[in-house]
Amino acid sequence: MNNSRRLFIGQLGAMPLLAWADTPVRIGLTPVFLDERSGFLGRFRLYLEAAIGRSVEFVQRRSYADIVERLLNGTLDTAWICGYPYVQHKTEMQLIAVPVYQGTPTYHSYIIAGTSIPDARTFTDLKGSVFAYSDPLSNSGYLYAQSLLSSLNVKDSAYFRKYFFTFGHQSVIRAVAQGLANAGSVDGYVWDSLAALSDSNTKATRILSKSEAAGFPPFVALKSLDSQLAERLRAAFQTMHETEGGRQLLSELRLDSFSAGTPAQFASIEATMHRVGL
């Protein structure tokens, strides 16, 4: 951590907490990435409130589109979104923090299949199948599959017998495992994390295809966000691994830490977006 950030954090620690009656810092989340963690969110909120000296309100919505709209219209201060909507709006958005997972601020997208199509070995074996996407603004849950379809010069409406959106990576895994879909597109971090816990749904699925590394879903804010608040948020995330409470939260998320991140880390997502024509 650089000296200027250490100085800022030291100054922050000396500041009295602002009155809890102030306007809370509003942080957007979706079940696409962070699902079924109500207890965790309570602890996460307490950590952030202590770190930034402001009350925090998590705003949970079903889709990335809903969260991005609220971020753009100023009703959210920051949000944990996918790299895909970040590159779509990078002229308006700034990075606040990027998770570090298994030593790198990147992750992979997976195409998974279930036992309903035991002979499928690659994406090209999925023609005529029922396919589950996560979210139309998800890199791993939509854009990656679109890039594979583009390489075959086909559209999903012609390639798949049926496709649908679940608005959650765990929901995609569950749909494939239970036979509601033959295959699906998911976040590799989510699949791997569940598999490490011996999740029954991941046991009933297998990986057919894995993308190149891409920037991990970041916390972002508008560039117009108050600069002091933006710096407080950066400090809170990027020093999380330095405290016992922060390390516990990171452990629950199966993350190493949060980094500053750079726009260049999302270049592969932007290149895929342009290649597919979205």
Q: What is the pLDDT of residues 74-128, one digit of tens each?
A: 999 999 999 999 999 999 999 999 999 999 999 999 999 999 999 999 999 999 9
Q: Which helix (H) or strand (E) holds 163?
A: strand 162-165
pTM of the prediction? 0.89
What is the reported pLDDT for 30?
86
What is the reported pLDDT for 39?
84
Domain spanning 3-105+215-276, CATH architecture:
3-Layer(aba) Sandwich (3.40)
What is the reported pLDDT for 38?
59
What is the reported pLDDT for 183?
98
Strand, helix or coil for residue 155 = coil
Domain spanning 109-211, CATH architecture:
3-Layer(aba) Sandwich (3.40)
47 Cβ contact list (under 8 Å, min separation 6): 236, 240, 245, 246, 249
What is the reported pLDDT for 197?
87
What is the reported pLDDT for 170?
93
What is the reported pLDDT for 22?
75
Write the burial class of residue 180 (CB in 10 Å: 0-12 exposed, 13-18 middle, 19+ buried): middle
* CA atoms of 120 and 102, how far apart (whole Å): 29
Residues of the chain with pLDDT under 70: 1-21, 32-38
Parts of the chain belonging to CATH 3.40.190.10: 3-105+215-276, 109-211
What is the reported pLDDT for 13?
45
